[in-house]
Amino acid sequence: MPYTPPGLVSILKSYPNHPAYFDNLVDLDAYLADLPKPIPPPGHPLRSRTVPRNKGKLCVCHDMAGGYPDDAHNPMWTFQWWALADTFIYFSHHRVSPPPREWINAGHRQGSKVLGTLILESTTDRYRILTGTDTASISEETNSISKKYADSLIDLCELRGFDGYLLNFEVPYENAKNARLLGAWVAYLRSESARRLGPDRSVIMWYDSVTVDGSLSWQNTLNQRNSAFFIGSNSFFTNYNYGNSTIPAAKNFLENLVGDTRPASDVSWGIDMWGRGTYEGGGYRACLALNTIEPGLAPPQRGFSASVFAPAYLWEDDVFKPHDRPSWWARDTLLWVGRSTAEETKDDLQRLNTDPQKQLSASDFKPLKEYFPFQPQTLPFATNFSLGAGTFFNVQGSQIQPKLLWSDHEWVAPLPDLAVPCSMATSEKGPLVILESAWIEEASKVWTGGHSFQLSCSKFKKELGLLFAPLVTVDLKSGPEYGCVTMFEVTWYQATSAGSHVAGLKVTEAGKRRAPSYNTDVIPVTQNGWFKTIAFFKELSGKVQFGADLDYRADPSSPVIIGAISVRAVSGTVAGNDYIPNRTYIDTTALTFKFSQSGSDYTGTLLWSGNIRPPVSDGSMTNPAWPTICETTLNEDELTYEVTTYLVAGQGARTAMAWGTTSEGRQTISWSNKQTRDQIDEVESKGGFVLFKVQALDGAGWYAGSPAEIWVSFSQRKRLQ
């Protein structure tokens, strides 16, 4: 969560007694046997996603600074490309590495499964996994496995809300019998995980390491020596040192092994971005390996999958300078989505790819999205274009924290798939026009978070007229239910009345452009240049492209700046050709503050809940237009709460002491510093108090309902109002 660093009041971890990871299975036993109270909420549910059948999938395996970095006030690498990845693995070298909650939420919000890692890099625990007890060997009489740790690992998935594990067992199992027991354990983990988590969600992925004779021998392919572990798991992650002829041979082996009962996409070829012997060298050369893997083959041909290991290489490797977020973002976008033109690709590849071991010609380079296209999201869709880190924090166009270094994957927003690296706009006169896209971090032009999105037209000519720019694809499936319509909102910025701006909204459905079904509203939302355009569309279904008419005619040199986009289903009423939507709100309710003290350690925990407020005309809470939050204008997975702590003087003047956002429904604070306590005591002795204000924010960066306040006296340890 973005939050202010320690100061007058310090924001603490809300669940400090719940370890981020486990260095051995004994620690996991102790944790699950006596769960510390309170128990943190699990990550948000996994959103559904329509996945192309039998085509290769992308797995991304995180390996960044050993995992679990303390980066809350040290912006570093973040992962933006959830809509391209079917599966994301949070990897570290601890025995059991559950993904942090904010990573689970970021992935699930965009339909990507998020896995933890179970790793064995020494003989400790290798047989405990199979027997349930501490043993250095397995007797010849042992013919069955213990289910204990498989069940415990799934318990941890349910408790924290993630979707399975990468099994990275880099230890020998000594003989074929032990390997068979290991294979049976993997198969049980897979079947039981599918039963408890759901077959469409659960993933147990085996890393190419142990063979059927119990040896630790990386095969760098799928073959007879490791196929038993492929059969027992959902997915198979090969080692990296394969060759050009290996992949066709593996396809033949797979067809002979399983026929049509398992897709080739269940085999995922490892690509180490650092190189280290990986096929074709990694880095920007990953595309050369993908040309052989062929993940995009369409049925009846079968495409393999790929596992990209350590994509943070572009951040961590010292060959890349300067080492800052803007420079890294330029390198990262080149790898993932490329550039608008061949000339720009050539120039940037030469300028940004400074790793001498991973050079290639621009004509051979392809970005990863050419192999793994963006997968459209479902309703409701919302983005504020946040990249998950920043140097300030805005809310609704106002600088809430003008000088705050922050990093939080919960604030990684969906990307506009139709506008990166550019939007191919159509003009009123017919020709396609390239609109160059960029993220900007100029505070006066950011809606919520630390970034906005801009589209520029360097080759604009006035005779082109309005340009229609495709922005995002949303999978509406069969369309909104209960008579709802689709509401499309774009929040945008215009510095002057003569600046470029959003002139209207349209959609493309089944290849045909459609204008709104009702009047379009344009609303000034702030005094400093922010507007919101709202359009409504009836009877949309399937994969629909949402876009905007952009007007550059008054000042072609000024870009169009977009702060947020949302696409939601709403019910409402019609008045003439106006559509009046019924909106859903989330109000903060049930605020309480619990004091605690141990010696000189002064702490307290603020708790609250969110209350749905549907303004239903007949007063019914069961109106079918609001069956659940998910079917209406808000979704729980896009809500966060802004929490501000004020010291209020007797005359009512407020001084902010702390600020932060969280999705957990609680915030723990400390005022242990004596100088701070004395300051609070002095203000409270003159009729002042401490005030907490909490208000929900939606995924487009708008306040989602009414705020709530609670007044407390720290010196008297009681609630005042």
440 inside domain? yes
Shared-domain flag, residues 87 and 233:
yes
396 inside domain? yes
660 inside domain? yes
Consecutive 10-residue averages of pLDDT for the chain (721 residues): 84 92 97 95 91 86 87 89 98 97 96 98 95 89 93 98 98 96 98 97 98 98 98 98 94 93 95 96 97 86 93 95 93 97 96 96 97 93 96 96 94 97 90 94 96 95 92 90 87 91 97 96 91 96 96 94 94 92 84 82 88 56 41 63 94 91 92 85 92 94 92 90 76
Shared-domain flag, residues 576 and 669:
no
Domain that residue 450 falls in: 377-581
192 inside domain? yes
Q: Tell me how many domains the chain contains.
A: 3
Shared-domain flag, residues 459 and 505:
yes
- pLDDT at residue number 599: 66
Long-range CB pairs of 220-229 (<8 Å, 24+ gap) are 220/246, 221/246, 221/247, 221/249, 221/250, 222/250, 222/253, 222/254, 222/267, 223/250, 223/253, 224/253, 227/253, 227/257, 228/179, 228/180, 228/183, 229/182, 229/183, 229/186
* Ordered strands of the 708-713 beta sheet: 654-662, 640-648, 689-697, 708-713, 718-719
139 inside domain? yes
Question: Backbone phi, then psi, for 117, in 5-degree steps?
Answer: -130, 135
32 inside domain? no
Shared-domain flag, residues 704 and 608:
yes
Residue 349, both tokens = 């590849």
Chain center to CA of 330? 20
- pLDDT at residue number 475: 94
- pLDDT at residue number 662: 94
Contact call for residues 87 and 93 (beta carbons, < 8 A): no
- pLDDT at residue number 622: 45
Residue 236, both tokens = 């198979």
Shared-domain flag, residues 635 and 569:
no
Can you state the angle between helices 342-352 and 325-336, rounded to 10 degrees? 130
Shared-domain flag, residues 554 and 608:
no
Half-sphere exposure of residue 8, counting CA atoms within 13 Å on the CB side?
Answer: 14
Q: pTM of the predicted model, to two decimals?
A: 0.95
CATH number of the CATH domain containing 708: 2.60.40.10
- pLDDT at residue number 581: 87
Single out the residue in 581, 616, 645 at which a domain terminates. Answer: 581
- pLDDT at residue number 623: 43
Shared-domain flag, residues 211 and 263:
yes
Contact call for residues 108 and 637 (beta carbons, < 8 A): yes
- pLDDT at residue number 696: 92
Shared-domain flag, residues 510 and 655:
no
- pLDDT at residue number 635: 63
* Closest of 350, 345, 352, 358 to residue 284, by C-alpha: 358
Shared-domain flag, residues 118 and 255:
yes
Cα–Cα distance, 593 to 154 (Å, whole number): 34
Shared-domain flag, residues 536 and 597:
no
Task: Find the distance separating the first CA and the last CA of the chain, reported in whole Å.
Answer: 27
CATH number of the CATH domain containing 271: 3.20.20.80
Cα–Cα distance, 298 to 306 (Å, whole number): 16
Single out the residue in 330, 348, 370 at which a domain terminates. Answer: 370
349 inside domain? no
490 inside domain? yes
Shared-domain flag, residues 569 and 597:
no
CATH number of the CATH domain containing 418: 2.60.120.260
Shared-domain flag, residues 628 and 512:
no
